[in-house]
């Protein structure tokens, strides 16, 4: 292995970054396809989708789409949504 690659690998420049797990406001894990109740932007019930700009919430009531980045709570770094369990539908 060339010396350059050893040095850069030593500093972690080529390591893959782990994707952060999306969590709802209560700390429950979220995945694409989950139904949630939005606590922001008057979206109401939403479904977590993989959109052209990454992960998005699509409102089931209005059809509006919002990126997951806009739903991050500054204090907890969790999403400002509550997961809807199958029994609550």
Beta bridge partners of 38: 81
Per-residue tens of pLDDT for the chain, all 89 residues: 555 555 555 566 666 666 778 999 999 999 999 999 999 999 999 999 998 889 999 999 999 999 999 999 999 999 999 999 876 55
Name the DSSP letter for residue 23: B
Distance between CA atoms of 39 and 22, rounded to whole angstroms? 15
Distance (Å, whole) CA 86 – CA 44: 16
Please report, for the chain, the start and end positions of each structural domain, with discontinuous segments joined by +.
Answer: 20-88
The pTM of the full predicted model, rounded to 2 decimals, is 0.74
Q: What angle do CA 34, 80, 39 make, to 5 degrees?
A: 90
């Amino acid at each position: 292995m060339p010396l350059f690659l050893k040095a850069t690998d030593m500093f972690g420049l080529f390591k893959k970054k782990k994707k952060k797990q999306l969590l709802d406001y209560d700390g429950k894990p979220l995945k694409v396809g989950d139904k949630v109740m939005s606590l922001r932007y008057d979206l109401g019930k939403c479904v977590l989708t993989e959109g052209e700009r990454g992960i998005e919430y699509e409102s089931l009531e209005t059809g509006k789409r919002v990126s997951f980045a806009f739903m991050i709570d500054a204090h907890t770094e969790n999403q400002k949504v509550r997961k809807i369990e199958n029994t609550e539908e």
